């Protein structure tokens, strides 16, 4: 997948999430969401922070730690949401959960470079989190083969997990940013 595909997909997820997920079922079959979408997007978001930190070495450390934190959140949430689904879990279900998370976290990753905005960062983070939870809900309805009430229950529970993980991640990255800019 190329850079053009990455940006087209990113804009589709951000501005037309319902349409993205209706088209995604057949288009995303050959795409590894983590490798082809999430890792490059997280890298771009981390590299956008570099100019705002005065010391290059500290900026690179922050980018590396931010990348590791974001990827760890994806894997932890994937396992947690998979366990919420109950005994119906399969390898393809786990892959669908990871796909939903990889695309749904797009607004959160794009909000990370704005962590230097002070108090306004929380407003931006709340808006990005709301968008991510709604995008995940659309994705669960499109990709999961459960009945609607079970998907709704799973999306509510996973929304709480996503919010908790995103806030912890955002606070941790904010503290690391403060640490690396104050050294």
pTM: 0.90
| Predicted local confidence at residue 168, as pLDDT | 93
| Cβ atoms of residues 57 and 179 within 8 Å | no
pLDDT by 10s per residue, the chain, length 183: 788 989 999 999 999 998 899 888 777 777 889 999 999 999 999 888 888 777 788 888 888 999 999 999 999 999 999 888 777 667 888 888 999 999 999 999 999 888 777 778 889 999 999 999 999 999 999 888 888 888 899 999 999 999 999 999 988 988 888 887 776
DSSP-derived secondary structure letter, 30: T
DSSP per-residue letters across 96-126: HHHHHHHHHTHHHHHHGGGGGGTTHHHHHHH
Q: What is the pLDDT of residue 99?
A: 92
- How far is residue 18 from each of residues 22, 66, 122, measured CA to CA in Å? 6, 29, 25
Buried b / exposed e along 151-164 (16+ C-beta atoms within 10 A): beebbeebbeebee
Q: What is the pLDDT of residues 50-98, one digit of tens each?
A: 887 777 888 888 889 999 999 999 999 999 998 887 776 678 888 889 9
* CA separation for the pair 42, 35 (Å, rounded): 11
Residues 69 and 169 sit within 8 Å (Cβ to Cβ) = yes
Q: Residue 158: which of 38, 74, 39, 66 has the closest Cα?
A: 74
């Amino acid at each position: 997948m190329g850079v053009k595909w990455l940006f087209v997909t990113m804009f589709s997820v951000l501005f037309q999430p319902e349409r993205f997920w209706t088209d995604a079922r057949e288009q995303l079959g050959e795409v590894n969401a983590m490798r082809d979408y999430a890792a490059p997007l997280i890298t771009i978001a981390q590299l956008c922070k570099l100019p705002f930190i005065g010391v290059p070495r500290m900026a690179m450390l922050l980018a590396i730690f931010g990348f590791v934190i974001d990827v760890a959140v994806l894997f932890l949430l994937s396992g947690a949401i998979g366990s919420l689904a109950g005994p119906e879990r399969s390898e393809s279900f786990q892959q669908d959960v990871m796909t939903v998370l990889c695309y749904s976290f797009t607004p959160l990753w794009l909000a990370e470079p704005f962590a230097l905005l002070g108090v306004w960062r929380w407003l931006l983070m709340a808006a990005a989190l709301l968008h991510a939870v709604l995008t995940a809900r659309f994705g669960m309805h499109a990709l999961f083969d459960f009945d609607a009430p079970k998907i709704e229950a799973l999306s509510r529970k996973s929304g709480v997990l996503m919010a908790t993980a995103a806030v912890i991640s955002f606070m941790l990255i904010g503290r690391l940013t403060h640490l690396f800019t104050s050294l």
